[in-house]
Amino acid sequence: MDADGWTHCSLGHRHWGLVGAAGLLVVHDGPDGRRFLLQHRSVDVHHGDTWALPGGALGHDESAEDGALREATEELADLPAGLVHLTTFVDDHGGWAYSTVVVRSPRLFAADDHGWETGPEGFAWLTADEIAAVPLHAGFAATWPAVLETIA
């Protein structure tokens, strides 16, 4: 069931997703190190023209894992087989939470579906150093160091 809409957490932020939101962090460990699949956000969305994870509002009674996979499939097109769930990092703001669902992919895959939520730079497999050098969505930037440490 749909739970799209704006709400406020107890920290006073305005958030999208009445019952919380989730994003999918796909990691790939290749010969040149670990890469992360990030989405360039369209200027038409909240905090546009920044980089973040594909994701969005959870539905009622939808798990973070199901929601993150559903949103990523909508925004990226079909995900490859063989994804392994590593962990789910929950950033609980009180009355609202953002879950980062971390999965490992056996390969780099093309994610070239450019829906309206995706900016002109599309999707990219970035290293941690590259992520440190691009403009990040404020919410993603706030949780990224803790997520990175969790999965190190």
Residue 83 vs 142, nearer CB to Zn ion: 142
How far apart are CB 131 and Zn ion at their closest, in Å?
22
Q: Does residue 47 belong to the site contacting Zn ion (CB under 5 A)?
A: no
- Binding test (CB under 5 A) with Zn ion, winner from 9, 77, 90, 148: 9
Map residue 136 onto helix, strand or coil: strand
Beta strands in the chain (DSSP E): 6-8, 14-16, 21-30, 33-41, 51-52, 55-57, 84-92, 97-104, 118-126
**What does the DSSP assignment read for 80-107?**
PTT-EEEEEEEEE-SS-EEEEEEEE-SS
Pairing label, strands 97-104, 21-30 = parallel
Residue 93 vs 114, nearer CB to Zn ion: 93
Q: Does residue 13 belong to the site contacting Zn ion (CB under 5 A)?
A: yes
How far apart are CB 151 and Zn ion at their closest, in Å?
22
Output phi, psi for 44, to 5 deg.
-85, -5
How far apart are CB 118 and Zn ion at their closest, in Å?
24
Cα Rg of the chain (Å, integer): 14
How far apart are CB 93 and Zn ion at their closest, in Å?
3
Q: Does residue 18 belong to the site contacting Zn ion (CB under 5 A)?
A: no
Applying CB under 5 A, the site for Zn ion has a residue count of 4
Q: Quick one: which H or E segment has residue 146? A: helix 138-150
User: In the stretch 69-108, what mask flags binding to Zn ion with x, by CB under 5 A?
Assistant: ------------------------x---------------
Residue 28 vs 93, nearer CB to Zn ion: 93
**What's at 47, amino acid-wise?**
H
Residues that bind Zn ion (CB under 5 A): 9, 11, 13, 93
